Structure 1
Amino acid sequence: MNQLVDGVWWSMPDLTTDRPVIGAIAGADATLMVDAGASPAHVGPFLDELRKQGAPPVRYVIYTHSHWDHVWGGSEIKARHQPVFIAHELTRDKVLAQSRLSWDDASLAERVRLGDVESFSLEHIKAEHPSRGQMVIVPPSVGFQKQLEIDLGGVRCLVEHVGGDHSPDSTLVYARERKVVFAGDAAYTAVSGLRHYTRQVIFQLLDHVLAFDAEMFVLSHTPAPLPREQMNALREILWRVATLTLDERRPEQEVVDQLTQADIPFPLSPEFVSELVDAFKSGAASHPKP
């Protein structure tokens, strides 16, 4: 667990089983957690560290969206703290449906076959939850439509639905006094079918996120929180890739060369730029202009 600013902590994501960031925001009276992690084994050590840091009890858990790696550690938090679990109403309905299903190997394989679970998640789920016979998935008890605000005692958290390509139910958490945004997976590509960005969707989302009076932005599968300069740079990178690829129809290698040689304060690899090119091409193909 790492401290980002006073009263705000985050865990590093782990590609081994695609574990996302878990976040915590503490006020004088209560702690709010951003996502519950992939499993009790994932979130348990984070809860231990929160206790060592002297954080107030966890009273709220926000699910940023319904994907398993952000939700399936909820039973461990519930057992220790009995918090209120909160999510957008779409997330609430999806997690409630998950909680009513069987997740044994045969059932899991069938969900992958039907496309309800991404194939790359199959081995990750088995690693995080070797035995799923008694697995408890905790659905939210509170759902909301657009936004709500929670006062933790001198620290106010805005919880807002933002949607996005990755998952239509995506939600962010903005800690006002701490000037931190936890954006979940909202800024990532869609994962169902071909990974893609829809140009209008991603830039509307990024402009909205950057409009917050925040200094740090936490993206759930990005290795470290992004200061505002880097978040702006990420938007610029996406804009250049979209423009060069879709408007100017430049060859992929030319786009890669231009971006990797540009003076942009963001770590760029040729592989990452190529993935962005493919994502915008796929998004344009699946959402053609009328």
Structure 2
Amino acid sequence: MALDLMAAFTELPPPIDYVLPNMVAGTVGALVSPGGAGKSMLALQLAAQIAGGPDLLEIGEFPTGQVVYLPAEDPPSAIHHRLHALGAHLSAAERQAVADGLLIEPLIGKCPNIMTASWFDALNRAAEGRRLMILDTLRRFHIEEENASGPMAQVVGHMEAIAADTGCSVVFLHHASKSAAMMGSGDQQQASRGSSVLVDNIRWQSYLSGMTQGEAEILGVDDCQRGYFVRFGVSKANYGAPFQELWFRRHDGGVLKPAVLERQCKVKRRQREEA
């Protein structure tokens, strides 16, 4: 439908509806991180919050709604462990709210392929009436060459079609490239593995990066402890004000909660001068 330009010029637009920090409802986005950083647990916690649970991550309050989380990498037993660990941080009422608002359907072994008509229709039906759909991970939902811009544009286009048809935001989990993981540059837009289309053609990209040795020194974290800390932020947002990145600490079962860290540069410099 063509826009009414005169109405757009003169009528006040409605407030932008954000489903996640800087992510507009009804668009496609990505959560990028190296393997083993904890992105599946982060995705589960985000899904639980939008489904009606508490803001354990302290990312801010957002409107709630029905959520569908489709993990295609992990077996049901692994997801059960994550849910059990997360449940320890929820009240009885919060557990019930999440159970009512969140649908989790493991797809491991089912070879979902968004490029086929049957799977596209199934994913479109799953998104109907929901505020957020999470695909874990992108590589499990297609069989195309990830370094080829044409096929990746088609994959992203299929997700956009689902979002446009249903109004449901689609977030796909994706691995960072090997070079980004090795160089500690997972917070950059181009840290995403594969074609640049996977960044350029989406409206939102977030990241989860492990703490580097240099960051541990600056923040006063012992090297043996830095594996417990990860950094979350938004590397691409076409809408909204910049999002202040957050440090999380892994707790029992992998549950992520905000970490309180302070820069130690001045302290170390003073110690060197006194020595």
TM range (shorter): 0.3 to 0.5
Q: TM-score, normalised by structure 2?
A: 0.32
Structure with higher RCO (Cα < 8 A, 6+ apart): 2
